[in-house]
Amino acid sequence: MERIATFSLPRDLISDDGHHAVEGYQIGWICALPVEADLAELMLDKIHDAIPLPADDDNIYTFGQIDVDGEGRFHNVVIARPPGVGTGRAAAATVANDMRRTFTNLKFCLMVGIASGIWSPEVDVRLGDVVVGAPDDNGPGVVQYDHGKYMQGKDFVHRGILDKAPKVLRAAVSVAKQVRRRKAFLSHLDDEDVKELAPRPTDDILFEAAYTHPDGARSCAGCEVQRKQKRPERRDLVPLVHYATIASGNGVVKDALFADDVRRKHGILCFEMEAAGLYNFPCLVIRGISDYANTHKSDDWYAYAASTAAAYAKELLKVVPLTAISQLPSIG
């Protein structure tokens, strides 16, 4: 796949010194971790030259395009990652605010990366699957599970709910559910560079919710085999895409019983730590399942999960009409 670009923007989108202007980028793509950004960059059909940025913007950006069809139409996309190793909602909010201030013609963002999944008999979430924050019931895409109030004699009342994704993205989600689009999504994972950086691991192990990882053990080699969760066999290794609410909060969830309780209350399928920082920021959250929300965590699936989320994000953008984006108000 060609990723070094030589293409021309209209003159009004080129700065006086010949660089592509920030106004030429209308779509933002936010990543919290280096592996997420690396996989996002591999989804670009062409990479553009860097643009001079304001001194008060510390984000690290990659500029490029995603082709919409074979007739030369494309979306200009700017991928952002934090300058340091900070994660969580505060870091995400800083990235988003700097991006919005620098790219004055920005219309919306995708937040793409990894999350901890919750398996249940009702929804068969597996490692490598994708969860899109666009539930079928048209409810909120993200709920901040650790923000709310405690009332005497009552359960904790959750108050943190993010706005639904922009209408143009929710419409694209409907199109992305088509069978042919699902096949196209999977084709993005067949890129040789993607497979080299993010090979699919072989073992997807889930233990019973009440069984915790032994203290101090570096791996699950000593965990009791008989405590593995019984799950139906999948017909193949193809990642599934689920459309549901995503839980966001300040900490890593390593409690399967707590996770299942939140799942039952809110219909959520995964936990992550950044999306709650994008309050009042038009975006869609897309997460690849890299581990389960329990004590048996490892980073074996991080890269592959980042690749499946990025592949879905690419296919989603390919079905967003250019005219629909141009008609949206700028959030910059």
pLDDT at 14 (0 to 100): 38
Which tokens in the block code for residue 227?
A: 């405590």
Report strand pairing: 283-292 vs 108-117: parallel
What is the residue-wise DSSP string for 20-37?
Answer: BPGGG--EEEE-SSHHHH
What element of type H or E holds 307? helix 302-318
Nearest residue to 235 (alpha-carbon basis) of 120, 308, 126, 310: 126
pLDDT at 147 (0 to 100): 61
Helix (H) and strand (E) counts in the chain: 8, 12
User: 249 CB contacts (<8 Å, ≥6 apart)?
Assistant: 144, 145, 146, 147, 271, 273, 276
What does the domain layout of the chain look like in residue ranges?
11-324
Q: How many CA atoms lie within 13 A of 319 on its CB side?
A: 20
| CATH class of the domain comprising 11-324 | alpha beta
Ramachandran assignment for 123, one of left (phi > 0), alpha (psi -120 to 50 degrees), beta (any other) = beta
Is residue 285 classed as helix, strand or coil in its secondary structure?
strand
pTM of the predicted model as reported, rounded to 2 decimal places = 0.90
Nearest residue to 294 (alpha-carbon basis) of 233, 225, 208, 202: 208
pLDDT at 209 (0 to 100): 87
pLDDT at 154 (0 to 100): 52
How far is it, in rounded angstroms, from Cα 119 to Cα 229?
Answer: 10
pLDDT at 150 (0 to 100): 45
pLDDT at 5 (0 to 100): 39
Low-confidence residues of the chain, pLDDT below 70? 1-20, 85-87, 147-163
What letter does residue 190 receive in the DSSP assignment?
Answer: G
Is residue 109 classed as helix, strand or coil in its secondary structure?
strand
Backbone angles phi, psi at 20, to 5 degrees: -65, 135
How far is it, in rounded angstroms, from Cα 103 to Cα 331?
Answer: 9
pLDDT at 222 (0 to 100): 80
User: 241, 129 in Cβ contact below 8 A?
Assistant: yes
pLDDT at 179 (0 to 100): 82
pLDDT at 332 (0 to 100): 75
> Which tens digit of pLDDT belongs to each residue from 36-68?
999 999 999 999 999 888 999 999 999 999 999
